Amino acid sequence: MMRTTIERMAGAAGREAELCGWVYNKRSSGKIRFLIVRDGTGIMQVVITKPELMETFDRLTQESSLVVSGKVRADSRSPGGFEMEATSLEALQIAGDYPITPKEHGTAFLMENRHLWLRSQKQWAIMRVRAEIIRACRDFLDDNGFLLVDTPIFTPAACEGTTTLFETAYFEDKAYLTQSGQLYNEATAAAFGKVYCFGPTFRAEKSKTRRHLTEFWMIEPEMSFAGLDDAMQLAEDFLYFIVQRVLENRQPELAVLQRDVEKLRRITRPFPRLSYTDAVEILRKEGNEIEWGGDFGSPDETVLSARFDSPVMVHRYPSAVKAFYMKPDPQNPDVALCVDVLAPEGYGEVIGGGQRIDDSELLRSRIAAHQLPEESFRWYVDLRRFGSVPHAGFGMGIERATAWLCGIEHIRETIAFPRTIYRIYP
Amino acid sequence: MMRTTIERMAGAAGREAELCGWVYNKRSSGKIRFLIVRDGTGIMQVVITKPELMETFDRLTQESSLVVSGKVRADSRSPGGFEMEATSLEALQIAGDYPITPKEHGTAFLMENRHLWLRSQKQWAIMRVRAEIIRACRDFLDDNGFLLVDTPIFTPAACEGTTTLFETAYFEDKAYLTQSGQLYNEATAAAFGKVYCFGPTFRAEKSKTRRHLTEFWMIEPEMSFAGLDDAMQLAEDFLYFIVQRVLENRQPELAVLQRDVEKLRRITRPFPRLSYTDAVEILRKEGNEIEWGGDFGSPDETVLSARFDSPVMVHRYPSAVKAFYMKPDPQNPDVALCVDVLAPEGYGEVIGGGQRIDDSELLRSRIAAHQLPEESFRWYVDLRRFGSVPHAGFGMGIERATAWLCGIEHIRETIAFPRTIYRIYP
């Protein structure tokens, strides 16, 4: 007999199949027993009428593991559209009192039991959307001439300031955990043309907001022979592709999450582009207290993104609020050739990037002005001494993108084992 | 005019195209000048005959950046099969004295200049094979029902002993950098059926061998409702798929590396399977000094793998030399249901895995016997209390697989910025 998964159950319709899974729920109705089974790919109803299976059915508790086989048939009332009429049922292990019940639990309790909480429908759906987003990111870049080049986690110096770095003892020395692969991307872009890195990044921020984790995943493309406009075009095409792929392949998961998919469908290209200066003007008209020169806070981002159905690209922020490596706009050196992409519905910045300084003297003066250790950045300056080219790129945080596309409140549910200032367990 | 890359130059044959890149080499022959240009996707010859371009040509040094355009034509003598007859040539930046010249350099010097060394043909080829391997891994697992679920880097406890852990200050507490995502994979496999994780892993090993790095990437699939045989079958299909994809898509890179591809072509399924006990017998006949019960060293692995054209799967090692979570063989509890896959040509272990203990009492006694902190593993034991199932999986080190498929000696060249006991720069 063919073993199959719930996701692929349509292929077994009208035939006998074997299903391995866990009890999600069970109920009785007269002489018929119903088992709701989850197998990690979906949930499905199993109907039990044979008397010899009743004893096993009765023993089964929530999350007990089992192997069941029987005839598969289409049934529009069953979740997933199919159900199974059991001919055999074997319990593998009878679960003890499962701590997560349908009643409401507090977040602290659920986080403490994150290894089990992941089995719940909502968490299951989020993780499946996350995986789809990651695959879409990789497919898009791989198919558009970008080479994956992994950048290091252990670094000798800070990319964007030292206060939020995690420090590690490294034999006789010390090392810092990376905050971004970008500086290394600039080296590999000069070797391979167009590249991307994708890995975990770390910030020792004492933030307790719903948008921050200490460990999060970032995908960062970088292009040689490209400027700010190219980076904006890439960001637009990239995000649009991801949204379409999630809509195409993750409908059941979005339904579990009760995501308003119409809001995702309304996203169209081109995305609106707005200079920082124009954005400040809009914010002031809306009554936000911001002066030209200040960085945006979450309330500012929310006001801006609420004006558009599509992500909005805010470009040319004041150089003073951006990283040392941003190229000044030749038209107005007070602003940088940078862009932040703000997701709709108040989800805030999902992408940040821009064009990098390609002049070695300017870069060295910026490193000095930011009091960064010259020796640690020697290799980085080298990139401007040996075949410097205009180059640009950006980084997208996977967790923020996942929160937005899933339509969920808190970023901590977008990663399997979130790490925050208070939690490294489980 | 169309800007194109060397990799896609065939699409521009017979037409005008623009190419952005760097000087790889240049030479003159009578009144004709030849520029060998690299653009990160390949190298190509540009022919310069127009007198007005000579002045620019003369200024160009190794690794200077440029934009050139002209007519593209097929030429079998040119690397890549095409050459360009330049109609315009612009130098973007004239590189200073490039430190890496065609003469021989020592490894320490090259590693110190790794950010530039990556531009050399051999390193370029290795990184492109590495990216192909990674994409093949992901495609295989994604297309075979495995869900990517990222596991955490910060962990509260050691997976396989504490002596080789990197410790990090974590606010008021401390954390360790992960050595493997496997324990977490077991939780996510129970939530999603079949999963994989893929990320950097860390070992503070003071090894200076050519097979060790402190930071390396590992891909780890894990399956619920599966045993050792399933893990071996998966390892075989997985590795075979990767080898075929590299052979299919990375011929030019393998040629640069002078890889003997016949050795890769000779790999066939099924891979040989050998019990540890039989392997010890073979080794003793060959004169290796090994007693039943000891782990294999590199010389042992070399002898075993030299006997086969395909990777050899050695299974059922003594439980005593393997990790605490390995399931004992019910037929002989002295050995574990585990497997190491040894690559041919002496490349040693590329995959290690097996079936995990699914009984909570046995697992708890193993945790106690290994003096591991019970509290840190509470969640891990929970997986056996709530719906325990037979489950199995493995991990493959990307750097070892890359070294093998590229046919190169030292693992430090298989990652863009290798981290070793002595090096975290650049």
Q: Model confidence over B270-308: pLDDT tens digits?
A: 999 999 999 999 999 999 999 999 999 989 999 999 999
Q: Please say whether the beta carbons of A339 and A312 come within 8 A.
A: no
Nearest to A154 among B5, B383, B419 (CB): B419
Which carries the bigger pLDDT value, residue B77 or residue A291? A291
| Distance between B249 CA and the closest CA of chain A, angstroms | 13
Classify A217 as helix, strand or coil: strand
Given a cut of 70, is residue B157 above it in pLDDT? no
Which residues make up the CATH 3.30.930.10 domain(s) of chain B? Answer: 114-414
pLDDT band of B161, cuts 50, 70, 90: low
pLDDT band of A11, cuts 50, 70, 90: very high
Which pLDDT score is estimated for B159? Answer: 54
Which pLDDT score is estimated for B208? Answer: 72
Predicted complex ipTM exceeds 0.85? yes
Contacts of B388 in chain A (CB under 8 A): 65, 92-93
Contacts of A224 in chain B (CB under 8 A): 20, 40
Best of A155, A192, A212 to mutate (most B CBs within 10 Å, chain B): A192
| Distance between A148 CA and the closest CA of chain B, angstroms | 6
Best of B19, B90, B115, B183 to mutate (most A CBs within 10 Å, chain A): B115
Given a cut of 80, is residue B158 above it in pLDDT? no
Taking an 8 Å cut-off on Cβ atoms, the answer to whether A145 and B187 are in contact is: no
Percent over 90 (pLDDT), chain A = 90
Chain B residue with Cα closest to A176: B168
Given a cut of 70, is residue B9 above it in pLDDT? yes
Given a cut of 90, is residue B24 above it in pLDDT? yes
**How far separated are the first and last CA of chain A, in Å rounded?**
38
Q: Residue B181's closest CA among A197, A415, A206, A413?
A: A415
Which pLDDT score is estimated for A163? Answer: 77
Which residues lie closer than 8 Å to A182 by C-beta, 6 or more apart? A159, A220, A222, A325, A393, A395
Side chain identity at B214, as an amino acid letter? T
Burial label, B206 (beta-carbon count in 10 A; 0-12, 13-18, 19+):
exposed
Q: At what angle are helices A228-249 and A121-142 packed, to 10 degrees?
A: 140
Residues B370 and B323: their CA atoms lie apart, in Å, by 9
What CATH number does domain B114-414 carry, 3.20.20.150, 3.30.930.10, 3.30.420.10, 1.10.10.10?
3.30.930.10
**Once rounded to an integer, what is the mean pLDDT over residues B106-117?**
96
Residues B394 and B384: their CA atoms lie apart, in Å, by 19
Given a cut of 90, is residue A212 above it in pLDDT? no
Strands A194-202 and A147-148 come out as parallel
Q: Residue B186's closest CA among A119, A356, A112, A374?
A: A119
Which pLDDT score is estimated for A205? Answer: 82
Taking an 8 Å cut-off on Cβ atoms, the answer to whether A152 and B416 are in contact is: yes
Contacts of B20 in chain A (CB under 8 A): 224-225, 389
Kindly report whether the global pTM for this prediction surpasses the value 0.95: yes
Q: Which phi and psi angles does A196 have, rounded to 5°?
A: -150, 155
Taking an 8 Å cut-off on Cβ atoms, the answer to whether A131 and B118 are in contact is: no
Percent over 70 (pLDDT), chain A = 99
Which pLDDT score is estimated for B212? Answer: 83
Percent over 90 (pLDDT), chain B = 90
pLDDT digits (tens, 9 = 90+) for B56-65: 999 999 999 9
Which pLDDT score is estimated for B418? Answer: 97
Chain A residue with Cα closest to B193: A40
Taking an 8 Å cut-off on Cβ atoms, the answer to whether A387 and B64 are in contact is: yes
Contacts of A22 in chain B (CB under 8 A): 190, 387
Which residues make up the CATH 2.40.50.140 domain(s) of chain A? Answer: 2-93
Best of B179, B192, B375 to mutate (most A CBs within 10 Å, chain A): B192
pLDDT digits (tens, 9 = 90+) for A147-176: 999 999 999 865 556 678 999 989 988 899
Given a cut of 80, is residue B210 above it in pLDDT? no
Strands A312-315 and A273-275 come out as parallel
**Once rounded to an integer, what is the mean pLDDT over residues B348-363?**
97
Taking an 8 Å cut-off on Cβ atoms, the answer to whether B131 and A115 are in contact is: no
Fold assignment, B2-93: OB fold (Dihydrolipoamide Acetyltransferase, E2P) (2.40.50)
| Window from B145-159, B239-253, B341-355, B402-416 with minimum mean pLDDT | B145-159
Residues A353 and A321: their CA atoms lie apart, in Å, by 13
Chain B residue with Cα closest to A131: B148
pLDDT digits (tens, 9 = 90+) for B319-335: 999 999 999 999 999 99
Q: Please say whether the beta carbons of B349 and B341 come within 8 A.
A: yes
